[in-house]
Structure 1
Amino acid sequence: MSNWDSFLTPYKQAVEELKIKLKGIREQYQKSSKHTPIEFVTGRVKPVSSILDKAKRKNIPLDCLESEMQDLAGVRIVTQFVEDISTVVALIRTRTDFVIVEERDYIIEKKESGYRSYHMVLRYPVETITGRKMILVELQIRTLAMNFWATIEHSLNYKYKGEIPVDVKHRLQRAAEAAFKLDEEMSQIRGEVREAQQIIIRSQEQQH
């Protein structure tokens, strides 16, 4: 492909627009009295070198990238708690400004590596000077702990060129389980804090 810049421009636009919209949801929650399910939002367009590597690895012809590579554009929502993920997924499903093409639950069905995340593939409309263009965007929703693990795993994959030594793989799998146990523990603690708050509120109401 000769002109990567013009090819990837609509993808950059899709990422920027989705980031603004998702951060908007976060701000609405922050202004309300409800718990904010979105901790932060990030996004990126795949670097050309990564696109070429993946195309080679998956035997995807460069003229089929638009239809066959679902993660050219990527947006990530990071949450505090595991249960926030289902709240965010439900929110995304109510939107009418894009279409959900596919959903993959790697939290219930974790990957062999230990990777956990909820993936959605969106078909998002971008308005260009030549008309509307439908862009595939991969949306990942995960907790802070899952994100921390995935960031380290990604760095190690890069370091070992995708061939992580067996002993390191086992350590990563154990770390993934530890991260998930931490998520579960924090959810339980949060539940207990909420219960305690309700008890305090009720006792204060009875005193008045």
Structure 2
Amino acid sequence: MARKDWGSFYVPYEQAIEELKIKLRGIRKEYRKRNEYSPIEFITGRVKELSSMLEKANKFNIPHDRLRFELEDIAGIRIMVQFVDDIWTVVELIRSRQDMTVMYEKDYVTNVKPSGYRSYHMVLKYPVYMAEGVVDILVEIQIRTLAMNFWATAEHSLNYKYKQQIPENIRQKLKLSAESAYLLDEVMMEIKDEIKDAQLLFEVKSDLVSNIMDQILLLTSLDRGREASKHQLALNKLAETGNVDELQLLLEDVSRDVKRFRHL
């Protein structure tokens, strides 16, 4: 296949990655706008490099005209979550969507690989709307905790360095570190509720501070610099140590001033 043909081959995959990242990040935004805990921490995506794709095709004897149908990870999305049980929440969210079809799943969280690798894989059929019509492509989604991702990234780098032949002493240390990473996940699960409460409190306070700042800027635009400075000083005192109730009262106070001076 000529270079320009490979460029055309990649177009629907690149479009799929961008669309899926937007859609999945939209789920996270939905939760945040409702001041709810989001099971999605962050999302990354990539299209497989041509050299890596051809290397894998040669390894499994896949003809170039069959790549779109037989190579499932040309387009890849990785969803990072904070806690192990968030993985199952995200899996259900994806299963329930109407704009993609789950072809099959691989549970390496419950059925950990001998190397210590843990992750949940879903292979989807995703329709990409091109100028010439709809193109159905395969996309692999990997869902894992931050600890699982840290370990998997390290293993991937070592496999690349040693061409899949990691020395036994390093392999054993990797296996031990995989168990340590999973133990970390297990311990974090025990204090999950405390962490979620703390994060939600932080989000609420951040929103309040942002809203107060918006109102102070409005006062400034109304040529009410003295009142704006007074509220800014109050905010400076509360920003670090103030509680939600105190910030809410300040927001109401600033909003009253804005409303009053707007009608003068």
The normalised TM-score by structure 1 is: 0.91
Deviations, residues 44-97 of structure 1 (Å, cap 9, x unaligned): 000001001111111211111011100000001000000110110111111000
Answering whether residue 67 of structure 2 is matched by residue 65 of structure 1, we say yes
Partner of 1:204: none
Inter-partner Cα distance in structure 2 for 1:194 and 1:120: 27
| Correspondence for 2:42 | 40
Aligned equivalents of 2:195, 2:57: Cα separation in 1: 48
Three-state SS of the structure 2 residue aligned to 1:177 is helix
Q: 1:98 aligned to 2:105? A: no
**Greater RCO, CA 8 A, separation 6+:** 1
Structure 2 segments unaligned to the other structure (5+ residues): 198-264
Residue 128 (structure 1) aligns with = 130
Letter in 2 for 1:75: I
TM-score of the aligned structures, taking structure 2 as reference length: 0.72
The answer to which structure has the higher helix fraction is 2
Aligned residues: 196
Q: Structure 1 counterpart of 2:111, which letter?
A: E
The whole-number CA distance in structure 2 between the counterparts of 1:181 and 1:54 is 33
Structure 2 letter corresponding to 1:35? Y
Q: Name the % identity.
A: 58
Corresponding position: 1:140 with 2:142: yes
Structure 1 residue 29 displacement after superposition:
0.8
Is contact 2:37-2:196 (8 Å) kept? no
Higher strand share: 1
The RMSD of aligned alpha carbons is 1.5
Q: Quick one: which amino acid aligns to residue 125 of structure 2?
A: R
CA positional deviation for 1:100? 0.5
Unaligned regions of 5+ residues in structure 1, if any? 196-208
Cα drift, residue 105 of structure 1: 0.4
Letter in 2 for 1:95: R
1:194 is displaced (CA, Å) by 7.2
Runs of 4 or more, structure 1, over 2 Å off, are 191-195
